[in-house]
Structure 1
Amino acid sequence: MVTIYDIAKKANVSPMTVSRVINNSPSIKESTRLKVEEAIRELEYVPNKQARSLTSKETKLVSLVIPDISNPFFTNIARGAEDKALQLGYQVILGNTDENKDKEAMYINMLMSSGVDGALIVPSSDDSAANMKRLVKRRIPFVYVDRTVDSVPADSITGDNLNTTRELVQHLIELGHERIGLINGPAYLSNARERAQAFRDTLILSGIQPNPRYMIETHFKQDNLDEIISKFLSLRENERPTAIVAANNFIGVNTLRALRSLGIRVPEDISVTCFDDPDIIPDYNPFLTVAKQPAYDMGYIGMQLLIERIQNEAPAATRKIVLPAELKVRTSTSRRGAQD
């Protein structure tokens, strides 16, 4: 294995000079730098990251911790985060928590022991506070993406849950729907709470009294929603929801599946909208009316915020960036007349 001593011998300089070139020290003459870099290329030397970190105090490694890599929304966040990290000279270690606080704690332990410079994190729940406090104690910079933990402040980049929910609900109201259901994530997630609050507020501002029977919590992972949909259908026909807002893409797709398995037509019997775009589903028609969040941009900008923190280029105050979604009206929603 090629070492800095081999580089030093070939370039006729000291090992310390090679180390300074590798760590971009400004005190090296340009002619010396070029000579060392030429030797590095000829010998195909790859710097050892852990050795570099002893002098530079940076590993150029960052961690991305997400709850479900199988969800295209989080996959796109990961793509954006990796693209920005590579652009700025960093590599990304990925952790997938499966929405599990204990598994998240395991990844927090791993990233602390591996000496990463910082982490971009989608918290698994409000209970992630204990994990986030450990990062604060170790002075490891981190940035929230998509969700936050209110009790542990940090830079964050999220979707506009409030205005996006209002837009989805208002779209259904404009189509004549008044009995609107919400299938949401659990209340221990910040984004689910915001969506539930905006759902209620939008109905009230439109003169519609929210019905607790129409607001159901599940989780954001893939699931069979037959039982939840059956609860709606067990109501008398003139009391059933005529439209449903699904709070993420998996819930939206599984709502379509459950309705189809129960013989309910979409949008003729029930209109369906959802957060995030599940991509084209070839075996399903109609396609969903969605609020498409800029997941790639969340990852890309979130990584920019993180690396600014790592390099001490960020302001002292925490930053909060909220990105709007794009409403894409398709054929899973249709007009309905006055309710019985």
Structure 2
Amino acid sequence: MATIKEVAKATGVSVATISRVLNNNGYVSEETKNKVIEAIKELDYRPNEVARSLYHKQSKTISLILPDITNPFFPELARGVEDIMNDHGYTIFLGNSDEKANKEERYLDMMEQKHVDGAILATNTLDSNHLKTLKKPVVIIDRSINSDFPTVCSENFHSSQDAVRHLKEVGCKVIAHIEGPAHITNSVLRKNGYIEVVKKESWFTDEYIVNGHYNDKDAYQATLTLLKNHPEIDGIFAGNDLMATGVLKAARNLGISIPEQLAVIGFDGIRMSEITSPELTTMAQPIYKMGETAAYMLIDLIEQRPLRERYYKYPVQLIKRQSTNVQNQSIN
């Protein structure tokens, strides 16, 4: 692969002229420009993108910082971001934060060092003051922080009410909830939606709410204890699909038949919910669309175009499947 000096030698012009052609900066005659472009093609010269990013203070890269890439929800979200970014010439630096503020802070510091153009974050560990010090465009996804930042999320509270109502509609009399971490806004909203529907029931008690920490292993253990202590439970609303798979496993190990003895509904609509046994009823977020929207918003911010909207809250769809004794239906 040729160097810029070799291109200059082949065309008989200066390195500075080659640079002006590459960066479309400054006057170069059409004849010289065509000569340089032809030489670049013949010599297979490829500009040093790191050097160009330093010159322009723009790298055509963005950071996507997610809390847990082992949760299938986030790779599906990342795919929506990546497809749009790639279509617009951007590449993605992916960070897995493990819900730890110090890891997120390190990733954000790296953004400055690597001249990353902006970031899409799913976080509830960093406050808005820290993010404001970045001086880089930021879009928040899945979890809202405050109105200072453009945000893409889904309707969590009312959708969770719909999930619990669906369990009632299929005949559940005592419904429990597997919640996610208390510091995550969408987890709290989903729990509150559950409570709003069941709080006036004579059977309701806080003992029917247990924490699965948004992962299948913790949800499995929590569900084992819950169902052993409260065999009267005949419906469970899990705060995400990954925890719902833990519920299915726990019920199977306890010899509890789903949906005959226990109906289960999750939240997210990840592809895994289609292949569980039984297939999982879920409140499906438009995961890919959310990723797309966040990507378009960030590109507009980077390229200094006004945003059409600063806050998107997408509706969630009830997908009825076997875990609530309904054969593959969906309603809006």
**Which of residues 220, 232, 244 is equivalent to 2:214?**
220
Which residue in the other structure is 1:323 paired with? 314
Give the alignment partner of residue 188 of structure 2, picking from 193, 202, 211. Answer: 193
Contact 2:284 2:319 in 1 (8 A): yes
> Given residue 86 of structure 1, which amino acid in structure 2 is its aligned partner?
N
Closer, same or farther in 2 for the Cα pair 1:177/1:31, shift >3 Å?
A: farther
Tell me the distance in 2 between the aligned counterparts of 1:87 and 1:283. Answer: 31
Match of 1:136 among 132, 151, 154: 132
- Higher relative contact order, chain-length normalized (CA < 8 Å, sep 6+): 1
> What are the Cα deviations for residues 293-329 of structure 1, in whole angstroms up to 9, with x where unaligned?
22222222111111111111134x9811112222211
Which of 161, 179, 183 is the aligned partner of 1:166?
Answer: 161
Contact 1:154 1:318 in 2 (8 A): no
TM-score of the superposed pair, with normalisation by structure 2: 0.88
- Corresponding residue number in structure 2 for 1:308: 300
Q: Which moved further from structure 2: 107-116 or 215-224?
A: 215-224
CA distance in 2 between partners of 1:66 and 1:134 (Å)? 17
- Letter of the aligned partner of 2:247 in structure 1? T
Equivalent position amino acid for 2:164 in 1 = V
Task: Judge conservation of contact 1:224–1:258 (CA < 8 Å) in 2.
Answer: no
Moved more, 287-296 or 159-168: 159-168
Secondary structure of the 2:271 match is coil
C-alpha RMSD over aligned residues:
2.6
Give the C-alpha shift of residue 63 in structure 1. Answer: 0.9
2:177 and 2:185 map into 1 onto residues whose CA distance is 16
Q: Distance in 1 between the 2:93 and 2:56 partners? A: 20
Moved over 6 A (4+): none
Return the offset for 1:251.
0.1
Matches of 1:66 and 1:148 in 2, distance apart?
14
5+ long unaligned stretches in structure 1: 336-340
Residues 1:245 and 2:237 are matched in the alignment: yes
* 1:3 shift after superposition: 3.1
Shift of residue 19, structure 1, vs aligned partner: 2.3
Structure-1 separation of matches of 2:248 and 2:61: 41
Aligned partners of 1:83, 1:274: CA distance in 2, in Å? 27
| 8 Å Cα contact 1:65/1:122 also seen in 2 | yes
Distance 1:159 1:318 in 2: 15
Listed as ranges, the gaps of 5+ residues in structure 2 are 327-332
1:268 maps to 260
Tell me: CA distance 1:320–1:281, structure 2 relative to 1, closer, same or farther (3 Å): closer
Please name the residue that 2:330 is paired with.
none
Deviations along 1:257-311, one digit per CA (max 9) or x if unpaired, are 1111111111111100001234347984211001222222222211111111111
Q: What is the CA deviation profile of residues 112-139 of structure 1, one whole-angstrom value per residue up to 9, with x for unaligned ones?
A: 211101111111x3x322xx54442130
- Per-residue deviation, 1:27: 5.5
Per the alignment, residue 107 of structure 2 pairs with 107
Query: Residues 52 and 284 from structure 1, CA distance in 2 versus in 1: closer, same or farther, beyond 3 angstroms?
Result: closer
Q: Write out per-residue CA displacement over residues 132-181 of structure 1, whole angstroms, 9 at most, x where no aligned residue.
A: 5444213011111111223x831111122123212212211222324211
2:149 pairs with one of 150, 154, 171: 154
In the other structure, the counterpart of 2:226 is 232
Aligned partners of 1:40, 1:254: CA distance in 2, in Å? Answer: 57
Shift of 1:244: 0.6
In structure 1, distance between residues paired with 2:129 and 2:12: 48
How far apart in 2 are the matches of 1:33 and 1:287?
Answer: 61
Q: How many residues align?
A: 325
Supply the distance in 2 between the matched residues of 1:321 and 1:111 (Cα, whole angstroms): 25
SS of aligned partner of 1:50 = helix
- Cα shift at 1:68: 1.6
Judged with a 3 Å threshold, the aligned counterparts in structure 2 of structure 1 residues 8 and 301 are, in CA distance, closer, same or farther, namely farther
Following TM superposition, by how much is the alpha carbon of 1:9 offset from its aligned partner in structure 2, in angstroms? 3.2
> What residue number does 1:295 align with?
287
Paired residue for 1:338? none
